[in-house]
Chains A and B, each alone.
Chain A
Amino acid sequence: MTIASTTQLICFAVLATTVVAGALGVVLLPNVVYAAFLLAGVFLSVAGLYLMLNASFVAAAQVLVYVGAVNVLILFAIMLVNKREDLAAIPGLALRRLVSGLVCGGLFVLLIRVAFTTPWGSGPEPVGEEATIRIGEHLFSDYLLPFELASVLLLMAMIGAIVLARRDVFSQDIATGEGVDQGLIEKARTPLLLDRSPR
């Protein structure tokens, strides 16, 4: 066995273990902050697996998009609302866990079955460094429609976020007809301190 193949085997074992253990941790840990950090670990390990498949551009994009943007935003949201309080007890928790465990187990068995019955050919040759160019060509030719649809979807999500965040622009105070914004709160109608000066 050569050095290269041994290294590859060790890397694969480490990455695969991290992905599986990390994913289980994301689902099973009660602490949501730990789960979010483990999710970052899982995304990084998946990027490592892409790297082992000679898809360096996809790996870098995975790190940039999932770790750098998605996961940071998840963490951001968690930390902005994190209140360190116990969740209210859910009725029938044991039954719910049992059912979801059964569903996941069934899905797992199905995937194992598919993995063992599919005739895995050797697939196309990895193109290595050429991949970036090939991805670009595909995005602008036969995958143009999905690409544009995805961008329209993202645009819609962005506009939706702006509408939700800037309610002040779109809503008015019922009594006065002014926009509901910080200024309205600051302009307190009733004085907070009574005026005791002689008139």
Chain B
Amino acid sequence: MVSTSAPGSAPGLDAAAGLDLQASFETLLQGAGLSAGTAHLLWLPLPMLLVLVAAVIGVLVNVWLERKISAAVQQRIGPEYAGALGVLQPLADGLKLLFKEDIIPARADGLLFTLGPVLVLIPVILSWLVVPFGQNLLISNVGVGIFLWISLSSIQPIGLLMSGYASNNKYSLLGGLRAAAQSISYEIPLALAVLAVVMMSNSLSTVDIVNQQSGAGILSWNIWRQPVGFVIFWICALAECERLPFDLPEAEEELVAGYQTEYAGMKFALFYLGSYINLVLSALLVSVLYLGGWGFPIPVEWLAGWLGQPIDAPAVQVITASVGVVMTVLKAYLLVFLAILLRWTTPRVRIDQLLDLGWKFLLPIALVNLLVTAGLKLAFPAFFGG
């Protein structure tokens, strides 16, 4: 997760000033007699693996939370025998799916049937490329940052259509078509809400977006300047994740399970994994875009100043980096909690209501929000990004 060589010099956690994990790792390996190229090659997969493991663990936590919170909402106890408080239940679920028979329906299109879930999962995992957990704690600070996530998430409907078509089942096809329609409709207000934030921070890079919110702690978070954008983004993110109240593609009363109807075993698990990774990712991006990312409610630079500690000292850097990771994850999981609570307390909307909400309400509101943001940016450049 700890990448370095981020472009631009940032105050505080700059790589050149304090710890540089990549450089120290490579010098360690070179000390062991490896060439510089080999050391670099050995370093490269480490951040990616770490983020992949973090994403999967995030899903396990998410599944456990979903089971426990739904139980609490319905006044049940939920899983309690697999580990303390049932924490091992998600692992048991995963193992069960792993050992299930992999069935491909007789008249289905085998190739597309297998390719569908893969195409759903890969873009979601790729999007973790741009999620920052700290100033230099991300895989790659690419310049197009948040735009990369938007474009990657638009690949997903193709996988859904593919699996819906290949299942050779009416419910699956309807589910796939609904998923594609929903995803296209909600992508536009989502992108417009992101655009308003990008306009304020003058950059598409996720790191720059967080840095722009780090001036005065909790008061400078984007949620105060973009309350409408925050709500639009959150609704659209829920719709993109196909969470209730927008889980029409898999509405069980109408479509059995939508595009997942014919899937079993590991292929079903890929859909399952994809949807939960996507939920965690969306929550992380909401916290990056609107809730100050890794920022503590009171800036850590101030705290270090009050305690009389130099911000560049290795020990202080380790502490601030850990605080950053904890804050990012905490904010994300608060949002996940909200999403789970919404799922178990709200009824599903109808498909026409869903499309009406997307096209006739969210899209105009998002456009007005963009216009107002542009106007405010011109009028008060000090508060809305110069």
A interface residue numbers (CB < 8 A to B): 2-3, 33, 37, 40, 44, 56-57, 60-61, 63-64, 67-69, 71-73, 75-76, 79-80, 82, 128-129, 131-132
Q: Number of residue pairs across A and B with beta carbons under 8 Å? A: 77
What's the minimum C-beta distance from A71 to chain B, rounded to whole angstroms?
Answer: 7
Question: Cβ of A131: which chain B residues have Cβ within 8 Å of it?
Answer: 143
Are B37 and A63 in contact, with the CB atoms below 8 A? no
Question: Cβ of A73: which chain B residues have Cβ within 8 Å of it?
Answer: 184
Are A37 and B112 in contact, with the CB atoms below 8 A? yes
Question: Cβ of B112: which chain A residues have Cβ within 8 Å of it?
Answer: 33, 37
A69-B155 contact, Cβ under 8 Å, with A33-B165, A37-B162, A56-B144? no
Q: Give bound CA distance, A48 to B150, whole Å.
A: 16
Chain B interface bracket (under 10, 10 to 19, 20 to 34, 35 or more): 20 to 34
* Chain A residue with the shortest CB-CB distance to B166: A33
Besides A64-B154, A72-B154, 12 other CB < 8 A contacts? A40-B158, A44-B155, A56-B143, A60-B147, A60-B151, A68-B154, A68-B155, A71-B158, A72-B184, A76-B161, A76-B177, A79-B173
What's the minimum C-beta distance from B137 to chain A, rounded to whole angstroms?
Answer: 20
Q: Give bound CA distance, A153 to B171, whole Å.
A: 37
Question: Cβ of A82: which chain B residues have Cβ within 8 Å of it?
Answer: 165
Question: Cβ of B158: which chain A residues have Cβ within 8 Å of it?
Answer: 37, 40, 67, 71-72, 75
Are B180 and A75 in contact, with the CB atoms below 8 A? yes
Question: Cβ of B176: which chain A residues have Cβ within 8 Å of it?
Answer: 79
The main secondary structure of chain B at its interface with chain A is helix
* Chain B residue with the shortest CB-CB distance to A58: B144
Are A129 and B143 in contact, with the CB atoms below 8 A? yes
Question: Cβ of A128: which chain B residues have Cβ within 8 Å of it?
Answer: 143
- Interface residue B14 (Cβ < 8 Å from any Cβ of A): no
Those 6 A-B pairs whose CB atoms lie nearest each other, nearest first: A68-B154, A129-B143, A64-B151, A63-B151, A60-B151, A56-B144
What's the minimum C-beta distance from B127 to chain A, rounded to whole angstroms?
Answer: 12
Are B161 and A129 in contact, with the CB atoms below 8 A? no
What's the minimum C-beta distance from A139 to chain B, rounded to whole angstroms?
Answer: 15
What's the minimum C-beta distance from B271 to chain A, rounded to whole angstroms?
Answer: 18
What's the minimum C-beta distance from B187 to chain A, rounded to whole angstroms?
Answer: 7
Are A56 and B142 in contact, with the CB atoms below 8 A? yes
Are B144 and A57 in contact, with the CB atoms below 8 A? yes
What's the minimum C-beta distance from B115 to chain A, rounded to whole angstroms?
Answer: 8
Are B177 and A63 in contact, with the CB atoms below 8 A? no
Q: Give bound CA distance, A141 to B37, whole Å.
A: 45
Are B148 and A60 in contact, with the CB atoms below 8 A? yes
- Interface residue B257 (Cβ < 8 Å from any Cβ of A): no
- Interface residue B41 (Cβ < 8 Å from any Cβ of A): yes
* Chain B residue with the shortest CB-CB distance to A71: B158
Q: Give bound CA distance, A71 to B164, whole Å.
A: 16
Are B177 and A132 in contact, with the CB atoms below 8 A? no
Q: Give bound CA distance, A43 to B40, whole Å.
A: 32
Are A129 and B7 in contact, with the CB atoms below 8 A? yes
A2-B37 contact, Cβ under 8 Å, with A72-B158, A79-B173? yes
What's the minimum C-beta distance from A30 to chain B, rounded to whole angstroms?
Answer: 14
Q: Give bound CA distance, A120 to B161, whole Å.
A: 42
Question: Cβ of A76: which chain B residues have Cβ within 8 Å of it?
Answer: 161, 177, 180-181
* Chain B residue with the shortest CB-CB distance to A37: B162
Question: Cβ of B164: which chain A residues have Cβ within 8 Å of it?
Answer: 79
Question: Cβ of B157: which chain A residues have Cβ within 8 Å of it?
Answer: 68, 72
What's the minimum C-beta distance from A64 to chain B, rounded to whole angstroms?
Answer: 4
A80-B155 contact, Cβ under 8 Å, with A56-B144, A68-B187, A129-B7? no
- Interface residue B200 (Cβ < 8 Å from any Cβ of A): no
Instruction: With a 10 A CB-CB cut-off, give which of A56, A68, A69 has the most chain B CB atoms.
Output: A68
Question: Cβ of A72: which chain B residues have Cβ within 8 Å of it?
Answer: 154, 157-158, 161, 180, 183-184
